[in-house]
Amino acid sequence: MTHPHPGQPASRPLLSPQGEGTGVRTPLFTFGGTAMSESDRSVESTLSNTSPTVTEGYAPFRGYRTWYRLIGEPAWDAERAPIMILHGGPGATHDYLENLAALAAQKRRVLLYDQLGNGNSDHPSNPALWTVELFVAELANLRQTLGLERVHILGQSWGGMLAMEYALTQPAGLLSLVIADSPASIPQWVAEANRLREELPPEVQATLLKHEADGTTSDPAYQEAMMVFYQRHVCRLDPMPAHVQRTFEHLANTPEVYMTMNGPSEFHVIGTLKTWNIVDRLPEITVPTLLLSGRYDEATPAIVETIHQRIPGAEWVIFEQSSHLPHVEEEQRFLATVNAFLDRVEGRVEQQ
C-alpha cells in the first residue's frame, strides 16, 4: 500500500556499517554447565564485570501487574538518562532482548519489562483487552510508577510500533526514540512480506498458501514452511541464542496476545492490527529518532524508508549481516551504535 508523501523533511544520511561479516553461525560456549551463545555469554560478562544493582518487581496496572527488571544505580540518572526496552510480538517477552542489559555498562539504567499477558506479567485471558491503547497506557503507567522523569525508549519490532504510538502522545521528558526493525503501516508490512514470500522455494509457498486458505495454520507442515521464512528474514543465526529461543517458547505456550493482534505468523496478519497505520502522523514525532534495521529484515528497507522520510531528522543505520534481530546478529555493532546515538542526544540536551 502506498501513502501520500507529506513532504521531505531534512534528514541525516542513511548509514550502512561496514566491516567483517559475522557469518550465520554463532559459536557456543559453556557457562555453569549450560550451553550459552556468545550473546548470552556477553550478558553474563557485562553484569558480572559491572555488578550493577538489579531490581525486579511488579507495577500495578488496571487490576493486574506488569513485571519489570531495572538494571543499574539510581545515581546514574544524573549523568545519563535511563532507557526503556520495549519487546516485540505483540505477545513476545523481554527474554530475547536481555543482551541489551549491556547498555548498563555505560552507567545508564536499563529497564526491561514484559507487557501484560506475556512472560512474568499477569496473564488475563480476555482477547478484548489486547489493544494498542492498553499497551501505551501500560508503558506510561510503568514509567510513572518507577519515577522515570527523563527517559529514552528503544522498541524492537512491535515494540517500535508501540514506542511511536507513545511518542505521539507527546509525553514530557521523552528524550529520544530508537526504533529497531519496525513498520509504521501493517498493510505495507504485509505487502512486503508477500514480496519476500515470493522468493521462497515454490513448494514452501504452496504449503503456506494451502494451510492459510484451509485455516490449518497450526499444522506442523505450515509451521515447518514458516520457519524457512523465519530463517531468512527473522533470525539468521544457527542455532538461535538461548535467550531468543526462550521468547519463541513463551510465544508458543501463551499465544493469545499474538494471535489476537497479529495472527498465526509474521506474514499472515489477520488480527486486530491488520489495518494499523500511523504513516501520516509520523511528522508529529519531534524527538531525536534512530532507525535500525537489517539488510535481510522482514522490516525491509522500503518499510523503514517510509519512516525515515517522515520523522524529521531521523537517522537510519542498516546492519548488513542481519535480518530482524540485529541486536543479536550483530550485537556489538548494535550496542555501539545505540550508545553513540544516546550520547549525542544527551550532548544536545545539555547544550539547550
pLDDT tens, per residue, the chain with 352 residues: 322 222 222 222 233 332 333 222 222 221 222 233 344 444 444 454 557 899 999 999 999 999 999 999 999 999 999 999 999 999 999 999 999 999 999 999 999 999 999 999 999 999 999 999 999 999 999 999 999 999 999 999 999 999 999 999 999 999 999 999 999 999 999 999 989 988 989 898 899 888 888 888 888 888 888 888 888 889 999 888 999 999 989 988 999 999 999 988 777 789 999 999 999 999 999 999 999 999 999 999 999 999 999 999 999 999 999 999 999 999 999 999 999 999 999 995 444 4
Torsion of CA 168, 174, 176, 177, to 10 degrees: -50
- 87, 152, 268, 324: the active-site residue: 324
168 domain-assigned: yes
pLDDT for position 273: 96
Could you give the C-alpha distances from 156 to 42, 47, 282, 326, 345, in angstroms and in order? 20, 22, 17, 10, 19
Q: Which domain holds residue 303?
A: 14-197+241-351
121 domain-assigned: yes
pLDDT for position 22: 28
Residue 268 appears among annotated catalytic residues: no
In sequence order, the β-bridge partners of residue 155 are 86, 179
Cis upstream peptide for 239 (omega within 30°): yes
pLDDT for position 27: 21
215 domain-assigned: no
Whole-model pTM: value is 0.84
325 domain-assigned: yes
On whether the CB atoms of residues 146 and 111 are closer than 8 A, the answer is yes
pLDDT for position 37: 39
Residue 16 appears among annotated catalytic residues: no
Other residues' Cβ atoms within 10 Å of the Cβ of residue 150: 14
pLDDT for position 327: 98
Quickly tell me which residue has 544493582 as its cell.
53
d(CA 104, CA 224): 38
| Closest C-alpha to 70, from 60, 84, 80, 81 | 84
Other residues' Cβ atoms within 10 Å of the Cβ of residue 261: 24
- 37, 42, 157, 182: the active-site residue: 157
d(CA 267, CA 67): 29
d(CA 256, CA 180): 24
Cis upstream peptide for 90 (omega within 30°): yes
pLDDT for position 219: 87
On whether the CB atoms of residues 232 and 19 are closer than 8 A, the answer is no
- Residue 251: which region, alpha, beta or left (left: phi > 0; alpha: psi -120 to 50)? alpha
- 297, 308, 323, 327: the active-site residue: 297
Residue 123 appears among annotated catalytic residues: no
3 domain-assigned: no
pLDDT for position 49: 54
| Closest C-alpha to 46, from 335, 342, 344 | 335
b/e map 71-101, b = 16+ CB within 10 Å:
bbeeebbeebbbbbbbbbbbbbbbbbbbbbb
On whether the CB atoms of residues 330 and 22 are closer than 8 A, the answer is yes
Number of domains in the chain: 1
C-alpha gyration radius of the chain: 19
In sequence order, the β-bridge partners of residue 176 are 152
Return the half-sphere exposure (C-beta side, CA atoms, 13 A cut-off) of residue 138.
28
214 domain-assigned: no
Q: Note the maximum CA span of the chain.
A: 60
d(CA 47, CA 36): 15
In sequence order, the β-bridge partners of residue 85 are 112, 154
259 domain-assigned: yes
235 domain-assigned: no
pLDDT for position 267: 72
Q: For position 107, which CATH number holds?
A: 3.40.50.1820
